[in-house]
């Protein structure tokens, strides 16, 4: 049993719900928070954790973008929000709409820590002004569910904004604890390619000519699209780096171990999920030059679709139709990631390494778009990375 629990610890996604529901403590290790799980926590992990793999039976291998009712390109009608947001400002606009229309009392999400610019903390926003002051992508460790059950009032309604893994965990928890569905009304997510460690964030600060103690303001995106990673130090010195460099060369190189085996980077279990609707270069690659931000937005449930339509009807969001086939070019990583996990897991097993509790038979169903040579190359690549110490 201890070995089984250790796998959940090793492949923890970091949502924090086990702390809220079972008082599990966390330790800091290699730039991430890892839970101090005990044997009595196994059934909880089996029931909600992404690494359990038993939730994969609920997703269709043929649907690359998951189940959804509608998909369109959206952006905030507030030009200042659209400019300052990481992309189109859609999630902030929807969250503000929920508060202003009193559809929920509070938004549960994460924001930058008051003590440290590379850390986050969970928070609840009650007013539009408060929400806007706390928004912005955080490319670092975050645990939005860490105090979830303690911060919910029985007489209030909430929306929760989180990473796809956070929302998956919460959706599964709500399926069992259905009494909470009267309080947690909306689940909102965004596309995620992985959670960078705090160590990677320290490297980013170093490249931005500051450090953890001296940095007074750090933004990863925004002020344009995709915007720049920008740090301001004690003396007001400001240094910036392109998104392509900050994510591609630093942050994306050191992500949570589970993220390399994630089967849901698109927020399939949310009511609404959003990603960057990059423009496309002539060669079919994403265009990371500066533009006005926009999101590819999926309404994945009936109430999510109704909410999205209300936001558009009331002028909070601008929406345009989108040819979904083009998404595989501008979001190539998300399009391909599910089909590649089979090779990674099999390669790890051949090396005698522990993996999430994924069924190889189930994972094989997600490889229908790959030929045997591509699958074998994926296995060989994983074995090579294991031998070189990169996995």
Give me the torsion for CA of 276, 279, 80, 138, rounded to 10°.
30
- Quickly state the pLDDT bin for 136 (edges 50, 70, 90): confident
Residue 45's pLDDT is 97
Of 26, 95, 15, 1, residue with least CA distance to 308: 95
DSSP 8-class letter at 63: -
Residue 29's pLDDT is 85
Residue 50's pLDDT is 97
Q: What is the pLDDT of residues 146-203, one digit of tens each?
A: 999 999 999 999 999 999 999 999 999 999 999 999 999 999 999 999 999 999 999 9
Of 331, 309, 255, residue with least CA distance to 87: 331
Residue 2's pLDDT is 64
- Quickly state the pLDDT bin for 345 (edges 50, 70, 90): very high
Q: What is the pLDDT of residues 193-251, one digit of tens each?
A: 999 999 999 999 999 999 999 999 999 999 999 999 999 999 999 999 999 999 999 99
Residue 389's pLDDT is 87
Please state, as a whole number, how many other Cβ atoms lie within 10 Å of the Cβ of residue 256: 23
Of 181, 365, 165, residue with least CA distance to 268: 165
Residue 1's pLDDT is 64
- Quickly state the pLDDT bin for 4 (edges 50, 70, 90): confident
Cis peptide before 203 (omega within 30 of 0): no
Q: What is the pLDDT of residues 237-253, one digit of tens each?
A: 999 999 999 999 999 99
Sequence spans of domains, the chain: 70-196+254-330, 332-391
> Quick check: 297 and 74 in contact, CB under 8 A?
yes
pLDDT at residue 144 tops 70: yes
Q: What is the pLDDT of residues 253-302, one digit of tens each?
A: 999 999 999 999 999 999 999 999 999 999 999 999 999 999 999 999 99
Residue 391's pLDDT is 82
Residue 256's pLDDT is 96
b or e along 354-380 (b: 16 or more beta carbons within 10 Å of the residue's beta carbon)?
A: ebbbbeeebbeebbeebeeeebeebbe
Residue 364's pLDDT is 97
pLDDT at residue 44 tops 80: yes
Please state, as a whole number, how many other Cβ atoms lie within 10 Å of the Cβ of residue 334: 21
User: How far is Cα 83 from Cα 224, in angstroms, rounded to an integer?
Assistant: 5
* Mean pLDDT across 84-111: 97
Pairing of strands 228-233, 120-125: unpaired
* Mean pLDDT across 25-52: 93
* CATH ID of 70-196+254-330, from 3.30.1450, 3.40.190, 3.40.640, 1.20.1630: 3.40.640
């Amino acid at each position: 049993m201890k070995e089984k629990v250790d796998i959940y610890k090793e492949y923890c996604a970091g949502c924090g719900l086990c702390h809220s529901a079972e008082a599990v403590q966390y330790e800091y290790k290699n730039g991430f928070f890892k839970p101090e799980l005990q044997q009595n926590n196994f059934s909880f992990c089996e029931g909600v954790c992404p690494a359990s793999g038993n939730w994969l039976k609920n997703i269709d291998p043929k649907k690359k973008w998951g189940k959804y009712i509608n998909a369109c390109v959206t952006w905030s009608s507030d030009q200042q929000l659209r400019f300052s947001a990481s992309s189109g400002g859609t999630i902030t606009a929807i969250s503000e709409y929920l508060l202003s229309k009193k559809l929920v009392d509070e938004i549960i999400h994460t924001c930058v820590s008051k003590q440290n610019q590379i850390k986050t903390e969970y928070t609840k926003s009650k007013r539009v002004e408060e929400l806007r002051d706390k928004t912005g992508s955080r490319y670092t460790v975050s645990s939005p569910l860490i105090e979830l059950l303690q911060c919910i009032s029985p007489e209030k309604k909430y929306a929760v904004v989180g990473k796809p893994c956070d929302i998956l965990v919460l959706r599964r928890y709500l399926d069992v604890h259905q009494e909470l569905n009267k309080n947690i009304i909306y689940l909102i997510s965004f596309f995620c390619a992985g959670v960078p460690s705090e160590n990677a964030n320290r490297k980013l600060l170093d490249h931005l000519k500051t450090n953890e103690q001296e940095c007074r303001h750090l933004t990863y995106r925004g002020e344009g699209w995709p915007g720049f990673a920008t740090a301001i130090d004690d003396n007001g010195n400001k240094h910036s780096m392109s998104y392509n460099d900050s994510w591609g060369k630093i942050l994306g190189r050191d992500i949570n171990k589970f993220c390399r085996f994630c089967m849901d980077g698109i927020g399939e279990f949310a009511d609404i999920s959003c990603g960057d609707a990059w423009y496309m270069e002539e060669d079919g690659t994403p265009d990371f030059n500066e533009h006005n931000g926009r999101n590819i937005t999926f309404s994945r449930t009936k109430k999510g679709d109704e909410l999205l339509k209300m936001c558009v009807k009331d002028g909070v969001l601008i929406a345009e139709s989108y040819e979904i086939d083009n998404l595989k070019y501008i979001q190539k990583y998300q399009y391909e990631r599910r089909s590649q996990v089979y090779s990674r897991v099999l390669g790890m097993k051949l090396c005698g390494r522990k993996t999430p509790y994924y069924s190889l038979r189930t994972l094989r169903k997600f490889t229908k778009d790959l030929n045997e040579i591509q699958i074998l190359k994926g296995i060989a690549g994983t074995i090579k990375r294991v031998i070189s110490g990169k996995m």
